[in-house]
Structure 1
Amino acid sequence: MNKFLTILLAFIFSSTLLTSCKTEEKKDTPKEETKEVVKTEPTAPYSLKNADNSINFTAYKTTAKVPVNGTFKKIEITKGGEGNSVKEAMNGAEFNIPISSLETKDNGRNLKIRKFFFSVMENTVSLTGKLNIETDSTGIADFTMNGVTEKLPFKYSIDGKTFTMSSTMDIEKWNAKSAIESLNKVCKDLHTGEDGVSKTWSEVAINASSTFK
């Protein structure tokens, strides 16, 4: 009996010793810590991507040249747009304007312009361009519409952190005469003035601004 107790106690002691060794070994094993690395891209003091950008247009109907105002609610800066000053940030900036963001505060008119004007053109899911500053008050935009790129002169001014530009474009320079005729046809009655003539002008006024933060 004594021999049996001696063997049993020896077994229990050995098991306890082994268990404690394993526990200590587990505690001594350091855990690898994984740290998430957040990459931050440096930005210049003036960035168009962080600015409040707007682009408005005024088209005209009837021979009396009645204005029709609209805006594009979305402007994407695709290249450039950064600098140490407002002028530097604007110069060379490339942009993309989705046609789907067109807004004239009239859903029916929005649909007609998208379907019977822009959809008649080629490659007009969006309008694209590049701004080139030439002097302290003038510049030229390489503007692409209907698969055609033409130079669009503009005037601009800078007031503090706000850049404002204005231009007038003749849509026919972008080979869009058929698009104008298409829109005028579907809007014939709405574009008919007191003289009984239905007219949609090819002239469109552009006004845009960027306020840097």
Structure 2
Amino acid sequence: MIKIALSVLLALSVASSNETSLKSGNCEVAQEGGITVSFKAYKTPAKIGVGGIFDSVVYTPAVKVAKDASALLVGSSVSIDTASVNSKDKGRDAKLVASFFQVMSTQKITAKILEAKAGQFIVEVTMNGVTKNVPMSFVVEDKKVVASGTIDLFDFSANKALASINQACFEKHAGKTWSDVTIGFTTNLTYPSCK
């Protein structure tokens, strides 16, 4: 019983020490692998979400190692090939490419993280030739950064593309395709040196 109690105390002590070390900036953080860019668009008057990812994303990190996740990611950027959209439905993906993304002036979406403060990234997003700063809330959990925000397609002058996909999917969307889209990204973290 004493051994069990000592083991529990030791485990709690180590966990507390690691948490303090992370918070006090004694650890360096790096990315492990690439970055996954996701989206969720909405259809029908009931606003049913349809999500997916982009399979072709060119990620350019700003630094290799930093004191925390925010410092690691600020300055990093992505270039997204919209033809690589993957909603786990090939027919739908083909329609998204032909009737939405190809209707826009460019078939690439770019984004760059400009700053981070109070659990929020400010991300410069360029789509359809229009650039906007988009706030994205983020959390760091289980050695992973998870970020999420919302864009309005009208802000990116994508009215024509929205009307096109609404027409192409009129029956399935019950005549309604929403202009707001949830965007997100995730990336894994590693801690190469914790002192």
TM range (shorter): 0.7 to 0.9
RMSD: 1.7
Query: Counterpart of 2:150?
Result: 168
1:73 and 2:55 matched: yes
Which runs of structure 2 are paired with 1:71-150 in the superposition (5 Å)?
A: 71-78=53-60, 80-84=62-66, 85-124=68-107, 126-150=108-132
Long gaps (5+) in structure 1: 1-44, 193-197
Long gaps (5+) in structure 2: 1-27, 191-195
Cα offsets for 1:43-98 (capped at 9, x unmatched) = xx6555x5242122111111111111111123212352533232211011111111
Q: Percent identity?
A: 30
| Residue-pair matches, total | 162
Q: TM-score, normalization: structure 1?
A: 0.71
Query: Counterpart of 1:208?
Result: 185
Q: Could you tell me how far 1:147 is from its partner in structure 2?
A: 0.8
SS at match of 1:92: coil
Q: Which amino acid aligns with 1:143?
A: V
Larger RCO of the pair (alpha carbons < 8 Å, separation 6+): 2
Q: Could you tell me how far 1:159 is from its partner in structure 2?
A: 2.4
Could you tell me how far apart the structure 2 residues matched to 1:152 and 1:170 are?
Answer: 10
Point out the structure with max Rg over C-alpha.
1
Q: Cα–Cα, structure 1 residues 81 and 175, in superposed 2: closer, same or farther, change >3 Å?
A: farther
Q: TM-score, normalization: structure 2?
A: 0.77
Contact in 1 for aligned 2:34/2:59 (Cα 8 Å): no
Contact in 2 for aligned 1:81/1:94 (Cα 8 Å): no
